[in-house]
A and B are shown apart, each in its own frame.
Chain A
């Protein structure tokens, strides 16, 4: 977070010094600032791992958009065709996420994907209960959700 803040400040400095306030120029400043922070990240403690994390974050956005579209088409197909292919049910997913922020992001991302809806977290916060629409292959769904969680935690930790 501090790394990202530094990066935005560097981009603003770039915009101020080059004197043209456009989105493209801000983006260029952001990229140059990112490269500078990449070079610095091994020497400054608060920046540790920032470069890797931002790249993972961008990769995660693309991964999630693709997952979002796939899931949307699956649900849309089931709605548009007369026969129900869905086998809905509620499953409990053991969590690797521990803090409130991690659980909040994970459950929101799960809710955002059609076909899975997070219902509740157990009182000791170790299991997330999810209503899933397609439980034909429960193991595949579980490993998909675990993969999502793993990718999210790699960004956040």
Chain B
């Protein structure tokens, strides 16, 4: 019974890690690669840890370590994804050709590095999605 649950957890976790690796190879640009690598990988690692905790059910010290590992993955994975994605974006690494909109490009000033929100005039202004100029397709610069 327990072995079956452990097997399911380990197989599912390994599948997610494998898919993350395939995603890094197949996906077209940096931002979409970050979606696959850090998150599917993190979920896979967490499921493997769940399998470990189930297998060593009678040893609380293993379970607490497994929980600690899951917590630290949850703490670090999104920050790594965010920082790598952000650095890549602002260094000007081009997005994939199939990208349908980019509201950040118009709000960001390349010279002063000021990132506007579109609410600056303090009136109940429109969010960037409703400003007319942002619906245009992204242009290469």
Contacts and interface: CB of A to CB of B under 8 A. Distances in A.
Q: Do A and B come from one complex?
A: yes
A127 B49 CA distance: 36
13 contacts: A79-B26, A90-B103, A92-B118, A92-B127, A92-B128, A112-B42, A117-B34, A119-B89, A120-B86, A123-B114, A123-B115, A127-B107, A131-B85
B77 A112 contact: yes
Contact of B39 (A90, A114, A127, A135): A114
Contact of A23 (B28, B60, B96, B104): B60
A101 interface: no
B129 interface: yes
What are the nearest 10 A-B pairs in CB distance? Answer: A111-B78, A122-B117, A92-B128, A127-B117, A89-B101, A114-B39, A79-B23, A126-B117, A108-B78, A112-B78
B56 interface: no
A25 to B, nearest CB: 11
Contact of B127 (A22, A111, A127, A133): A127
Contacts of B102: 89-90
Given A79-B26, A122-B116, A135-B100, A115 B86 contact: no
B31 interface: yes
Interface residues of B, number: 50
B16 A76 contact: yes
A107 interface: yes
B82 A107 contact: yes
Given A75-B23, A117-B31, A88 B39 contact: no
Contacts of B85: 117, 119, 131
B119 A117 contact: no
B116 A72 contact: no
Interface residues of A, number: 45
Contacts of A88: 29, 31-32, 95-96, 98-100
Contacts of B65: none
Contacts of A122: 107, 115-118
A79 B103 contact: no
Nearest to B127: A94
B3 to A, nearest CB: 22
A86 B86 CA distance: 20
Contacts of B39: 71-72, 75, 111-114
B27 interface: yes
Interface in A73-91: 75-76, 79-80, 84, 86-91
